[in-house]
Chains A and B, each alone.
Chain A
Amino acid sequence: NAGVTQTPKFQVLKTGQSMTLQCAQDMNHNSMYWYRQDPGMGLRLIYYSASEGTTDKGEVPNGYNVSRLNKREFSLRLESAAPSQTSVYFCASSDGRGQYFGAGTRLSVL
């Protein structure tokens, strides 16, 4: 049982480059989330999807876009990466009784 799978695990970008972080869950959860984790800032919600076909902004959505491709997959896109987006990104899914997290993507923007 894989749970929540994120790819890639590590990525280095140059300023202005774009990339998509992939996330898939196999638990048949309706809700999915993207967070970023920065030292001293805790976890901050970027975007969430309450159900297939819907997405909404979280606390820090600027510079990001998301796509809920189907019930399993929820991707996060950086159109033009900036050094301020250097962070660890976590995808999570939920059945309403707790959130289940992927292992994270460590992104550096130079």
Chain B
Amino acid sequence: GDSVTQMEGPVTLSEEAFLTINCTYTATGYPSLFWYVQYPGEGLQLLLKATKADDKGSNKGFEATYRKETTSFHLEKGSVQVSDSAVYFCALSQKTSYDKVIFGPGTSLSVIP
């Protein structure tokens, strides 16, 4: 079945450091790919998405590119801030009778001043 694998955390970075969170997937066909972010005590928020190969999703300085050849969707940000501290979830979606979403386990990021 479909699945999503993420790098294990927690990840701790200093402010202004470069961020990469790796995500790979296994799926049939051409799923849509997503990154969600969960701040402490809150629900998940859609951060960015890509719906086809070579698409780049971007939002709030974060970027991820849909790589079909490597089945990857790595999240990057050039300069992280303390306010980026959160848990990040990679996910894929297959269009069936409903919007079925498979979530990765999440990667916790802590940014220290």
Closest-by-CB residue of B relative to A102 is B43
CB distance from A30 to the nearest CB of B (A): 8
CB distance from B73 to the nearest CB of A (A): 14
A96 close to chain B: CB less than 8 A: yes
A31 close to chain B: CB less than 8 A: yes
CB distance from B81 to the nearest CB of A (A): 23
A-B contact count (CB 8 A): 47
CB 8 Å contact bits of B41-70 with A (1 = contact, 0 = none): 111111001000000000000000000000
A interface majority secondary structure: strand
Is A104's CB under 8 angstroms from B97's CB? no
Is B46's CB under 8 angstroms from A99's CB? yes
CB 8 Å contact bits of B21-48 with A (1 = contact, 0 = none): 0000000000010101000011111100
Closest-by-CB residue of B relative to A3 is B43
B residues contacting A by CB (< 8 A) are: 32, 34, 36, 41-46, 49, 89, 93, 95, 97-99, 101, 103-106
